[in-house]
Structure 1
Amino acid sequence: MKHLLAVMLGCSVLAGPAAAQTTCPAAKSGIAANAVPVIHYRSVKIDSVSVFYREAGPADAPVLLLLHGFPTSSHMFRNLIPLLADRYRVIAPDYPGYGQSDAPDRTKFSYTFASQADIIDKLVTRLGAERYAMYVMDYGAPIGYRLALKHPERVSGLIVQNGNAYDEGLQSPFWDPIKVYWRDHSQNNRDALNGLVTLDITKFQYTDGMSDVARISPDNWVQDQALLDRPGNRDIQLDMLGDYGSNVPLYPQFQAFFRKYQPPTLIVWGKNDKIFPEAGAPPYLRDLPKAEMHILDSGHFALEDKLDVMAPLIRDFLDRKLCK
């Protein structure tokens, strides 16, 4: 009865041992106009860089921070946000060099995962998000986990979708030329990665391994490629690919965070992903034995293919773990 009243009337919850009390608005149902959330599209200056973000939901609701992957932006969450924003404050930023955020010249901004995490940390602090669950995918995983190392007390939960924190998840042949570049930053090794920012590979990331390609909007790769093709952006992406190797030595620290803090975790993983294959998902259970894991018949950008499956899983997880 207590749980039912909490769902109907809103709730107060201690989401973890260090959590502050959080109020969850009552869930809305139906398709009435007043149940459709308003999404705001905003930008704010962080260290002289204009950082774009999407935001929706009650200002005092539990925060869900959506951290996108390569080569896209917060655009990847455009369909998920309205399905959560009646009850959660959803914040989805674009990293510098991606989406609608500034892409300063690489001589003026360091395109590293440390820098990206620092920018996102300053953004959520500016927005008053003192505690948040994180949806991490692809690049969003090391960026989010770096945030967790900085502020472990802020993390109320994790939703992991094809985002790696274990050596087993980097065994795909996709990574072979990138690993060569990690070891030797020669121009030849850098040039060998040029193909990873072409239209063929961008489209491949959206279509390969999908259970139903007809569900995948071509707008995805058209928009992403237009942004990749901006002057100077190829070098930005190669810098980021080259710096991805800086995350690997942090894997033991990421795993130690999991073990110590045991954040409630939902894993929703596209098993056909050739970039972050299924092998990267089960290792999470070594450190997060209570994590809920769902392996889906989908690819890299599983939200495009399996939103109808993933959104109810995510909604149910958040309602149980943040609003019990």
Structure 2
Amino acid sequence: MAETRVNGARIRYDDVGQGEPTLLFIPGWCTSREVFRKLVPWCSMLHRALVVDLPGHGESQQPGPDFDNTAVVDTLRAVIDASGARQVVPVALSHGGWWALELRRQLGSRIPALVLLDWLVLEPPPPFLQTVQALQSSQWRQARDGLFSLWLQGVGSPDVVRFVRDDMGSFGEDMWKRAGREIEKVYTRYGSPLEALATLSPPVPTLHLYAQPEDSAWLESQRSFASSHPWFQVQKLPARSHFPLLELPEEMAVRLGRFLESALGTHPAGLAPPTT
């Protein structure tokens, strides 16, 4: 385990594997780096991997009584700098994608590609925005539990159930309210992640790997976007939950590796991705 300090707060991260570009695994709000524990061993066969605990999450300290999206991006930049990595590909879970986009804006070609995992990349529907707003209110617990019920509906994977209930369930009122506030802020500003991605100049090769929802219109909308923005790819995974990286880590690692090889021409010597 490695660590750095940001505004006096200890930030911890794992630094494993070797090979450029380095993969920066970014959890979402109210999620520790534990969510990547099954995916990283496969990915680190081909690439160096940095796996971060966000401020106030997991084993990282919180920099003061409150923090925002800007502070999270500053933390991620501090980890990149401390690691000495030259080129970094963020592998961002859910709303961690917003920080990945901002890293590209700030660091330019040092971020040669983006990998987004199970994210609401289209314009958010009203029920989602209502939930995000409820998270900021006295009804935050009911809103959180509603998300948990949605994410676990029909899910039989004990790894997913354990992670949602024990890891995400360990975060309290302050963090869930902060998450709601910061998530609403970026959707209000940009409309949707795809709209935000389209503003990047030059565009960056981007892969979205997701499993839920099981909605053909959701997939077709992303494919339509990809047809007019060839730097964007979307791939649907045969998993049952919002956390396919806990269900299909080998397959996700293979797809991620193939994307980087195609987009960046990476050919790690002496290694081959695992087969499914």
Tell me the TM-score range normalised by the shorter chain. Answer: 0.7 to 0.9
Specify every segment of 5 or more residues in structure 1 that has no aligned partner in the other structure, as ranges: 1-40, 182-188
Which segments of 5 or more consecutive residues in structure 2 lack a partner in the other structure? 268-276
The answer to whether residue 151 in structure 2 is matched with residue 192 in structure 1 is no
> Deviation per CA, 1:65-88, whole angstroms, max 9, x where unpaired?
111123312111111111121221
Q: Match for 1:241 among 162, 166, 180?
A: 180
Identity %: 17
1:285 Cα deviation after fit: 1.9
Q: Are positions 1:271 and 2:212 aligned together? A: yes
In the TM superposition, what is the alpha-carbon distance from 1:124 to its structure 2 partner?
Answer: 0.9
Please, which of 113, 129, 132 is the counterpart of residue 69 of structure 2? Answer: 113
Q: Is residue 2:4 matched to residue 1:61?
A: no
Which shifted more, 146-155 or 284-293? 284-293
1:83 pairs, out of 42, 47, 69, with: 42
Match of 1:127 among 83, 102, 119: 83
After superposition, the C-alpha distances for 1:82-141 in whole angstroms (9 at most, x for unaligned) are 1121221111111112121113552xxx32112111211122122212321111221211
Q: Quote the residue 2:51 is aligned against.
A: 92
Q: What corresponds to 2:60 in structure 1?
A: 101
Alignment length, in residue pairs?
Answer: 259
Shift of residue 53 of structure 1? 0.8
Q: 1:255 aligns with which of 178, 191, 198?
A: 198
Q: Secondary structure at the match of 1:144?
A: helix
Work out whether residues 131 and 143 of structure 2, in 8 Å CA contact, stay in contact via their aligned partners in 1.
no
SS of match in other structure, 1:111: coil
Length-normalised TM-score, structure 1: 0.70
Q: 1:143 to 1:216 in 2, by over 3 A?
A: same
Segment of structure 1 superposing worse, 66-75 or 287-296:
287-296
Give the match's secondary structure for 2:35. Answer: helix
**Partner Cα distance (1:234, 1:279) in 2:** 37
Match of 1:295 in 2: 236
Paired position in structure 2 for 1:186? none
Give me the whole-angstrom Cα distance separating, in 2, the residues matched to 1:159 and 1:284.
16
Whether the 8 Å contact between 2:42 and 2:250 is mirrored in structure 1 is no
Contact 2:29 2:179 in 1 (8 A): no
What residue number does 1:174 align with? 128
* Structure-2 separation of matches of 1:102 and 1:279: 41
1:179–1:111: structure 2 CA closer, same or farther, 3 Å change rule?
Answer: same
Indicate if the aligned counterparts of 2:23 and 2:89 stay in contact, CA closer than 8 A: yes
Flag the structure with larger Rg. 1
CA RMSD of aligned residues (A): 2.8
Instruction: Report the TM-score, using the length of structure 2 for normalisation.
Output: 0.81
